[in-house]
Every structure is written in C-alpha cells, then in structure tokens.
Amino acid sequence: MKSKQQYTTLIKAEAKRLGFLSCGISQAGFLEEEAPRLERWLKNNAHGEMTYMENHFDKRLDPTLLVPGAKSVISLLLNYYPPNVQSDKTAPKISKYAYGTDYHFVIKNKLKTLLSLMQDKIGAIEGRAFVDSAPVLDKAWAAKSGLGWIGKHSNLLTRQVGSFYFIAELIVDLELEYDHAVTNHCGTCTACIDACPTQAIVAPYVVDGSKCISYFTIELKNEIPHSVKGKFDNWMFGCDICQDVCPWNRFSKTHEEPLFNPHPDLLEMTREDWEEITEDTFKKIFKKSAVKRTKFSGLKRNIQFLKD
C-alpha cells in the first residue's frame, strides 16, 4: 500500500504535467478565521447585487458539506498572463483573464483529467472539481495550502509570479500530506489601495465588491451609477489596475496555454472598432470567452458609459 507522501507526490507531478503553475494541499475542515470576515463583508453589503454570495454560507466555510467524507482540498493555480495586450492605448480595455477561452471550461477539463488520473493510479476516490462557480473560498484555501498570501487587494500573491492566475480546487475523500501557509510580503506597500480609482479597497485586505470596476462592468445588470462617471480608466470588462500596479507582478511570466490566446482580431481593435461593434462581431470574437457573461447589450452599455 502506497503512503500519503507517495500519493501527494504523484498528484503534484500530474498537476504540473497538465500545465498547472503550482499545487498545494490542505486538510478539509471549517475555515474558522474566514467565518467572521465573510459575515462582516455580507453585513456591510460589500457584495452589492451579487445576492448569490449570501447563499450556502455554511458550505462556503466547510468543504465537507460539499463533498461528504472530504479529507483534502487540493488547490491549483493556472497562469493566464498574456504575451501581448490591446494595441490601441485609447481603446476600451478588457481584463487580461478574459482574452481567450472561458477559463471555467479550460480548467474544469484539466481538473476532471487530474481526478480521473488519481482514480486510475490510486483507486476509488470520491471528489468534486471547483472553478470559482461554486461556494468555495478559493483564495483562502490556496493561501492555507501555501500557494501564496492574500494581498491588500484581496488577490492571492506569490513572490515568484505575482497574481495573474486562476485558482481552482479538487475536494477529495483522500488523506494526503498537507502544506503550510506562507508569510505575507506586502509590507508597507499600498500601491493597489492608492491606484484604485473607485476606492473599492476600503481597508488593507478588504474590498467592497459593490465599488469595484469589475462589479460595475460584469455583475451589475442595471444602469451604472453616475457617481462613478469618469472613474473607470477606460475599462469596459473587468479591471486589472490593482494587479498592474502591484510590484510583485513584475515577475509575471507569459502563460503556456494555447486556449488562453485571444481571437486574432481582439488585440488589434481600435477605439472606433469597439464603439461601432456589432452583435455579429461580438459573437465572433467572444465565441468561447468569459466576456459573454455581460452579453452584447452589457458590453455596449459599458462602452457607452465610457464614451458619454
């Protein structure tokens, strides 16, 4: 019978082979430190109209409620930092994570492959794959698993490659060797707090989601409030400001996932192209993209908001 150590080594090697940046493992259990933070965040209405954040409070904090008999949370990072960005500096901007194929599909397939490999090589394992669409506090688990620390902008940070990566989990009923949290390396830096044009980072490590440009351009379905007019720094889908200014992101490395490469026309579109975009062009360029979440009407609304 193989040991926990051998299983852990096998899982991490397979994760690397599948293209994941890194893999860390934590013991599944109740996230005691996160519970009061989440409760406070919700009480302050920092989730705005994202009412789904109020659902499954207990499940968000305890993975054993998501996977009966869960023993381990396997956290994985997948790099998405692009080699090139939009060429027209005056054009409305799209967050780098949304350049290519929707990450939910890309990562879900990799996770299913990893779980299948584990079942083939280890035996009967019950588990579920999660990619930010279920009640799992992925950043908390990634930090607990030693993959980085939570920065003042509330994103996971690593000294090696910054923060331009996705986080995903496999929650399984297999006991493994567990990793330990790493130390925080934000120090006295407040670059992200100072740079946020809508003051969404209301305190170090606390983001009011209802003030975030990503929230306004993606999650908010109603009209964008006039109070944030002129504060979007030309972002029409998502926002990368707090990550772009972070000193640790000078270590970002280009991704190696072909599916994250954008449609050939995307990066060359001018400001005029975006302002005159048709639904056909939208469907062509964003056929498999996360940008589809905001729909053509939503993107047009955002572009118009920047223009007016």
Q: How many residues does the chain have?
A: 308
Active site residue 132: yes
Residue 21 per-residue DSSP state: S
C-alpha angle 185-191-197 in degrees, rounded to nearest 5: 140
Among residues 153, 148, 141, the alpha carbon closest in space to that of 239 is found at: 153
Among residues 28, 29, 68, 70, the alpha carbon closest in space to that of 172 is found at: 70
C-alpha angle 83-84-86 in degrees, rounded to nearest 5: 155
Phi-psi region of 205 (alpha: psi -120 to 50; beta: other; left: phi over 0): left
Q: Residues with Cβ < 8 Å from 89, sequence gap 6 or more?
A: none
Q: Contacts from 51-57 at CB under 8 Å and sequence distance 24+?
A: 53/209, 55/135, 56/135
Which of 132, 233, 244, 273 is an active site residue? 132
3-state secondary structure of 43: helix
Give catalytic residue positions.
132
